[in-house]
Structure 1
Amino acid sequence: MLESFVVLITTTALLLGSPGPAPLALAATGAAFGIKKGTPFLLGILLGLSVAIVGATIGLTALFSQFPNFRAVCQFAGGAYILYIAYKIASAPSITEQGAKSVPGFKDGFILNLLNPKAYAAFLAIFSQFSLPFPDTYVGNIVTGITCLAVATVVDALWLMLGGLLRPIFSEPKQARIIRIIFAGLMVVAVIYALVRFA
């Protein structure tokens, strides 16, 4: 059982910690607005991830196989929303009190991961291959889901903190704009990659 936990934690950390739309958005938010102001965005992302976990456990694969067009709609809707978040980050004003309204919030984070095709693909892979081997499958899925959420919380918080560490380096408005545009550009690349890969 211990080996199964180690494999599950490692796989989840690699799948969710790789530079996809949500981690890049967290890093960009931390860099542009700081860790404290980015925390509601992080909490929204984690709630959206919880929905993805539940969706994977109740058989999203079956739904997509019955209605293949629904999968494409979800992918493109998710991609469009992530591009909106990228635009919001890239076009944010300098870090001032007036700019605080531009900080991605809880709702933005929730919708971002709710519509993030990478999250669903990751959990479908995890639950199909790395689900914990409990005698009761239901219990195994619950413990697997809780473990995945715990790992995601640590990984996503680290991305937000990484962005927060970069913040003082880019304190000048011109440098701040450059880092926001770089992160937004990386988010766009991640969306294109996800749409091509999971299409």
Structure 2
Amino acid sequence: MDFATLAVFAGVLTVAAASPGPAVVAIVARTLARGRAGSGAFIAALAFGDILWLAAACLGLAALAATMGSLFVVVRLAGAAYLLYLAYRLWTAPPAPQRAEAPVRDRGPLGLFGAGLAVSMGNPKTMAFYLALLPTLVDLTRLTMLGFVEMSAIIAVVLTVVFAGYVRVADRARRLFASSRAMRWLNRSCGVAMAGAAAAVATK
């Protein structure tokens, strides 16, 4: 694939990934409440989910998902359920601030990867990007295996950089909340944001 096409794809993907959506809300809210621990697995799952959507678009499955949304109801609801679970955990979390060196224990990397994948696959924003926008940037009917690998690499790099930036900013903001009252406000605010993201995923 020519450099110009890949550059345009990378630029548009960066803007789409950086714009607020369920995935951004989930990773920011989780980092604010739990710190950086586990963010790598969550980000990897989000990137892998995008690559799966790219593959689906290339195979024509994205159009099928748009016309027969019931096929993806279970995945979408699983992602929404995880966000609601996070919302509940955040709302009921103890107000005592946690030290950055000893973040609250969370599920393991495999569990976080599965949860992130569910959020990515059930994210209507991601599906819309690969279904509606991608065909205007790339002729999917002429996409070679090398082109697919190149686009997958771009997805992995762009999403890792963008989401890692969100994690870094959120982790720094988290350190500013030293009092129990501030932590209670932070946890509940993030819980509300998570619940909103869950509603967006479940109802689109």
Residue 27 of structure 2 is matched in structure 1 by 26
SS at match of 1:170: coil
For residue 59 of structure 1, what is the aligned residue in structure 2? 60
Seen in structure 2, the aligned counterparts of structure 1 residues 83 and 163 have a Cα distance that, compared at 3 Å, is same
Q: How many residue pairs were aligned?
A: 197
How does 1:82-121 map onto structure 2 within 5 Å? 82-93=83-94, 94=96, 95=98, 99-101=104-106, 105-121=112-128
Pick closer, same or farther for the CA change 1:173–1:39 going to 2, 3 Å: farther
Q: Which residue is equivalent to 1:69?
A: 70
- 2-side partners of 1:56 and 1:27: how far apart? 28
Offset of 1:28 from its aligned partner? 1.7
**CA–CA separation in structure 2 for the residues paired with 1:98 and 1:2:** 42
Q: Evaluate the alpha carbon distance shift between residue 107 and residue 66 of structure 1 in structure 2; reply closer, same or farther with a 3 A threshold.
A: closer
Measured in 1, the distance between the counterparts of 2:66 and 2:106 equals: 41
Distance in structure 1 (CA, Å) of the matches to 2:93 and 2:56? 33
The one-character-per-residue Cα deviations of 1:64-105 (angstroms, maximum 9, x if unpaired) are 256343245544443333323333333333436593146883
Q: Does 1:127 align with 2:128?
A: no
- TM-score, normalised to structure 1, is 0.77
Residues 163 and 98 from structure 1, CA distance in 2 versus in 1: closer, same or farther, beyond 3 angstroms? closer
Would the alpha carbon gap of residues 106 and 67 (structure 1) be closer, same or farther in structure 2, given more than 3 Å must change? Answer: closer
Q: What SS does structure 2 have at the residue aligned with 1:100?
A: coil
Gaps of 5+ in 2: none
- Unpaired runs of 5+ residues, structure 1, are none
Query: Which aligned pairs between 1:1-199 and structure 2 lie closer than 5 A?
Result: 1-64=2-65, 67-93=68-94, 94=96, 95=98, 99-101=104-106, 105-131=112-138, 136-193=143-200, 199=204
Identity %: 24
Structure 1 outlier segments of 4+, above 6 Å: 132-135
Instruction: Confirm or deny: 8 A CA contact 1:52 1:114 kept in the other structure.
Output: yes
Contact 1:132–1:140 (CA under 8 A) maintained in structure 2: no
**2:91·2:187 contact (CA, 8 Å) conserved in 1?**
yes
TM-score normalised over the length of structure 2: 0.75
Deviates more, 1:99-108 or 1:152-161: 99-108
- RMSD of Structure 2 on Structure 1 (CA): 3.2
For 1:82, the aligned partner's letter is: L
Q: Distance in 2 between matches of 1:10 and 1:117?
A: 20
* Letter paired with 1:84: Y
Change (3 A) 1:124 1:70: same
Describe the superposition over 1:115-174 as per-residue Cα deviations: whole angstroms up to 9, x where unpaired. 323222222234312237996544333322321222111111111111111111113232
More helix, by proportion: 1
Deviations 1:40-61 (A, max 9, x none): 3333333333333333332222
Once structures 1 and 2 are overlaid, which stretch shifts more, 163-172 or 179-188? 179-188
